[in-house]
Amino acid sequence: MSATPKMVSATITTDFNDAGSDRKFVAGATEELTAGEFANYRAAGLVEASVEKPVTDAPSSPAKPKRPRAPRTAKAKS
């Protein structure tokens, strides 16, 4: 049984060549790396984790402004 390695999406921060695998990486590109490759390249300062922008649900209409408070009246002395 062959386990599929966990893949990590990484952004390349600088151009570099991996001497062990002869792979070439270009700064600014996004690559899918194994968790081990990512850990090694990150420790060397060559990659960063790619951050996907979260999808936000835009409100259909702006929030209603709060109603102003009525001024307090003085209590009547008893």
Q: For the chain, give every domain's residue range.
A: 7-49
9: pLDDT strictly greater than 90: yes
Q: Give the residue, 31 or 77, on which the prediction is more confident.
A: 31
Residue type, 20: G
The per-residue pLDDT for range 26-65, each reduced to its tens digit, is: 999 999 999 999 999 999 999 999 876 555 555 566 677 7
What are the DSSP E strand ranges found in 1-78? Answer: 7-12, 16-18, 23-25, 30-34, 47-49
The pair of three-digit structure tokens given for residue 35, joined into one six-digit string: 């968790």
What's the pLDDT at 2? 61
Query: Are the C-beta atoms of 42 and 12 separated by less than 8 Å?
Result: no
